[in-house]
């Protein structure tokens, strides 16, 4: 019976002695051992009454057991719903109410606070700890090490991932078997991932980056992973000499660069560093290349689509760009309203079409119709443009667009100017209510630890390079920018924090 994801990612490795997981202490989990545990977990899920199409929610610390449960959900045809470990009990309440999973697996320490919510939805709750212990493990132990995959089609939902909900109610993106499998195969080919690769995996497993990009590409290639429970600098430095690839968020790379032990010799076996989930500063690109000789490959993806574009594996990896559409994926830049294309080089809405684009939002047919055009294009909400060579550049989210005095202001353009100042580590530009202009441009700036802030000089630099309506009407110094768990700057938090910046002022 066909089961596209299981057949491609897991079935080929039955009985294999090749390494799949390598722990920092040197302990190795082979593919064959992993598949045996996937089968045991699958029997446990079935014993809980889960059937194909049922939802399986999981909020647990990163462990190999979480991967086994993911594999088991594919095997039995359940819909896998991983939840951010930072979500509070009240936030989890919402997801359980919305998705109504047949089973919820959580950390033992969270069980008491979440039991009432699960019971209210008729959801069974079991536990698993970061060490792989708990009531789910107890149930799976002793189960058979072989299982027959459920029959699934390419259009069947394999995973349900919720968006962050920063602009309203969180939406569950329905990702099909074909969505996930097509993206894994395209990325494996585009980045030349082979069975000989050893990926340094320090990302969380509740996010598309750590699970579907990192793990699925590893599985489809038959490669191995050095498995860190999170990005811990000492463990990363110790693991890098044995790794050939690394996927990370920008903060991983900036933290490595801050340590003198991170050298070209340390990464002599590496062939590819990949960054995503948040923009990588051009300065980080340059510093990384100067230190290691490697140019980081930046790509662009979303919860609803997986990966859409990538800088080339062979060819120029352009700082500040996310490269070109991946094979089988179409990208167009439009006015956003009617889908009319904009002139080359102009900023517009990024729309994506391809086998990677999700099926729609769980229980939200109207929202699905708003964001998925009838011709298959998904309106991403991201603003961007192509340069003269066709590289795609992201300038921000549509909701981050500032309209000041009737003029459109794109934050990225201003941030690039501010970040050029030698004492500026990074910046975030937002729009907040302004009595005269509707919105006023505010720059929130983080200085270098050793830098001496020069606000008059920064304002002068902006005045020399930006039209007056784009120049910040206020510059605020902070120690750090607020970020989510994947390192993305939370501009909604900044807008809330500085919403009264121009109150009662006419500037």
Q: What pLDDT score was predicted for residue 346?
A: 92
Residue 506 has pLDDT above 80, yes or no: no
Q: Which of 131-145, 160-174, 247-261, 341-355 shows the lowest mean pLDDT across its residues?
A: 160-174
**Euclidean distance between CA atoms 17 and 32, whole angstroms:** 6
Give residues with Cβ within 8 angstroms of 100, minimum separation 6. 55, 121, 122, 123
pLDDT band at 167 (very low <50, low <70, confident <90, very high): very low
Give the mean model confidence (pLDDT) for residues 478-484: 92
91: three-class secondary structure by DSSP: helix
Residue 261 has pLDDT above 80, yes or no: yes
pTM of the model: 0.86
Q: What pLDDT score was predicted for residue 168?
A: 56
Q: How far is CA 251 from the centre of its chain?
A: 13
HEC secondary structure over 15-72: CCCCEEEECCCCCEEEHHHHHHHHHHHHHHHHHCCCCCCCEEEEECCCCHHHHHHHHH
**Euclidean distance between CA atoms 321 and 416, whole angstroms:** 13
Give the mean model confidence (pLDDT) for residues 367-388: 94
Residue 165 has pLDDT above 70, yes or no: no
Rounded to whole angstroms, what are the CA distances from 302 to 62, 128, 278, 289, 381?
Answer: 21, 28, 11, 27, 10
Q: What pLDDT score was predicted for residue 507?
A: 36
> If you search the block for the tokens 């979500």, which residue do you land on?
87
Q: What pLDDT score was predicted for residue 166?
A: 45
Could you give all domains of the chain from N- to C-terminal order, each with its CATH number? 4-13+28-185 (3.40.50.12780), 401-497 (3.30.300.30)
Token pair, residue 291, equals 């230190």
Q: How far is CA 470 from the centre of its chain?
A: 30
Q: What pLDDT score was predicted for residue 164?
A: 64
To the nearest whole number, what is the mean pLDDT of the chain?
A: 93
């Amino acid at each position: 019976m066909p089961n596209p994801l299981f057949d491609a990612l897991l079935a080929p490795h039955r009985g294999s002695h090749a390494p799949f997981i390598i722990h920092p202490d040197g302990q190795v989990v082979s593919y064959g051992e992993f598949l045996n545990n996937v089968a045991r977990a699958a029997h446990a899920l079935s014993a809980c009454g889960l059937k194909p199409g049922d939802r399986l929610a999981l909020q647990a610390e990163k462990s190999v057991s979480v991967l086994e449960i993911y594999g088991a959900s594919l095997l039995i045809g359940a819909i896998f719903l991983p939840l951010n470990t930072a979500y509070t009990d009240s936030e989890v309440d919402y997801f359980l109410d919305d998705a109504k999973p047949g089973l919820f697996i959580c950390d033992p320490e969270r069980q008491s606070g979440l039991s009432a919510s699960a019971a209210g939805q008729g959801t069974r709750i079991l536990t698993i700890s970061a060490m792989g212990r708990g009531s789910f493990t107890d149930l799976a132990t002793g189960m058979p090490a072989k299982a027959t995959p459920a029959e699934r089609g390419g259009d069947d939902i394999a995973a349900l991932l919720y968006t962050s909900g920063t602009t309203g109610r969180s939406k569950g993106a329905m990702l099909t078997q074909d969505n996930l499998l097509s993206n894994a195969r395209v990325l494996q080919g585009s980045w030349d991932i082979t069975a000989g690769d050893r990926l340094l995996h320090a990302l969380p497993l509740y996010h598309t980056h750590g699970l579907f990009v990192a793990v699925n590409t590893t599985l489809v290639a038959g490669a191995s992973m050095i498995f860190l429970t999170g990005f811990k600098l000492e463990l990363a430095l110790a693991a890098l000499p044995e790794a050939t690839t690394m996927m990370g968020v920008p903060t991983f790379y900036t933290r490595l660069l801050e340590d003198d032990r991170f050298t070209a010799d340390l990464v002599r076996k590496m062939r590819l560093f990949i960054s995503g989930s948040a923009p990588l500063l051009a300065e980080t690109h340059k510093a990384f290349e100067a230190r290691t000789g490697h140019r980081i490959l930046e790509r662009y993806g979303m919860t609803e689509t997986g990966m859409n574009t990538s800088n080339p594996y062979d060819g120029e990896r352009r700082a500040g760009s996310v490269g070109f559409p991946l094979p089988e994926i179409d990208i167009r830049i439009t006015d956003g309203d009617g889908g009319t294309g904009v002139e080359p080089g102009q900023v517009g809405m990024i729309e994506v079409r391809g086998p990677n684009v999700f099926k729609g939002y769980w229980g939200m047919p109207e929202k699905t119709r708003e964001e998925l055009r009838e011709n298959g294009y998904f309106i991403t909400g991201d603003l961007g443009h192509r340069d003269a060579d066709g590289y795609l550049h992201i300038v921000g989210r549509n909701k981050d667009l500032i309209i000041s005095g009737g003029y459109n202001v794109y934050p990225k353009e201003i941030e690039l100017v501010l970040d050029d100042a030698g004492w500026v580590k990074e910046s975030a530009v937002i729009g907040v209510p302004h009595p005269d202009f509707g919105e006023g441009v505010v720059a929130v700036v983080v200085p270098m630890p050793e830098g001496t802030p020069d606000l008059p000089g920064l304002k002068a630099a902006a005045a020399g390079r930006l039209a007056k309506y784009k120049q910040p009407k206020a510059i605020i110094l902070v120690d750090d920018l607020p970020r989510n768990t994947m390192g993305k700057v939370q501009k909604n938090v900044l807008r809330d924090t500085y919403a009264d910046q121009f109150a009662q002022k006419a500037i």
